[in-house]
Amino acid sequence: MSEVEIAFSPESLLVLNIILAGMMFGVSLQLTGADFRRVLRSPRAPVAGLIAQFLLLPAATCLATWLLAVPAPLALGMMLVASCPGGTFSNVMTWLGRASLPVSVSMTAVSSLAAVVMTPFNFALYGWLNPHTRSMLRDIELDPLKMLALVGLVLALPMLLGMVFGHRHPRLAGRAEKPMRLVALFVLGGFVAIAVVRNFHLFLEYGDQISGLVIVHNLAALGLGAFAGWLIRLPRDERRAVTMEVGIQNSALGLSILFNFFPQAGGMMLITASWGVWHLMSGLVLALLWSRSAGRAHE
């Protein structure tokens, strides 16, 4: 699958990076220093989620792909997704599922900052630890510093700018935050839909190889998040927020990394793009189920 060629232009890459940065800016408009201090005062839920997200999920992905001898391009794609932070879609899914939105937003913020270091580190570490992917990782000449710079530019910098703007213009930020997030989500959804249509023949050709891996991987991520919350006895709404945050990865960041640094890694791109489509479906179904159960609980 390393010979698979994805239809994707440099202009599309620029648009993807701008969308990512815009989404982080919009999410951060309502963030303040108090949100981070709140995490420090009551860190149980965010810490449980971060451990599941940046330690358990990448390690479990590496071990599973090694033991099952998953082909190197697919295994590396799974490890890249597992190394990404929670996506901004998780905040929307958490809100729809009537789970704890403050926990979700604080986890997105903290994990996005942590991802500046942890995403390049985990991808390089676990890609090297798996003997099936080690040679491919050398072939694609991974540069962790350049990857760190990209993650910083599309996640950390827009977040800081959003927080500064929200602090200086609180009324405008309050009115703009929700519409901006919805527009960004709509634009990203359209972008992904166009990319899928342009490469639909590849999804048909390789679907039997990647669909099972993506579905099981996503269910494992959701399960790890739920287990972490259950283990430390979080309240149900916080446990559900952690579950969604770990299970809804920032696959758009993964695609941005791939198109910036590994444009020849077609198998990795198919895994990452497929995850991006599937986790929206699984997250939405889960959110609707939670919403119905929460509604019955209040009747």
Residue 294 lies in a domain: no
Tens of pLDDT, residue by residue over 166-207, are 888 888 877 876 677 667 667 666 766 776 676 666 667 777
pLDDT at 3 over 70: no
- Residue-level pLDDT at 83: 92
Q: What is the pTM of this model?
A: 0.77
Q: Which one has a higher pLDDT value, 277 or 184? A: 277
Q: State the first-to-last Cα distance of the chain, in angstroms, to the nearest integer.
A: 52
Residue 113 lies in a domain: yes
- The domain total for the chain is 1
Rounded to whole angstroms, how far apart are CA atoms 179 and 202?
A: 34
At residue 122 the predicted structure's pLDDT band, cuts being 50, 70 and 90, is very high
| Residue showing tokens 């959804």 | 189
Residue 4 lies in a domain: no
Rounded to whole angstroms, how far apart are CA atoms 100 and 85?
A: 18
Q: Which domain holds residue 62?
A: 10-288
- Residue-level pLDDT at 299: 43
Residue 103 lies in a domain: yes
Residue 1 lies in a domain: no
- Residue-level pLDDT at 39: 66
**Mean pLDDT across the stretch 152-160?**
79
**Mean pLDDT across the stretch 213-222?**
94
Residue 293 lies in a domain: no
Mean per-residue pLDDT over the chain, rounded? 80
Residue 2 lies in a domain: no
Rounded to whole angstroms, how far apart are CA atoms 162 and 23?
A: 10
- Residue-level pLDDT at 125: 92
Share of the chain above pLDDT 90, in %: 22
Tens of pLDDT, residue by residue over 85-118, are 887 678 777 877 888 877 887 787 788 888 888 8
CATH code (residue 80): 1.20.1530.20
- Residue-level pLDDT at 79: 94
pLDDT at 75 over 80: yes
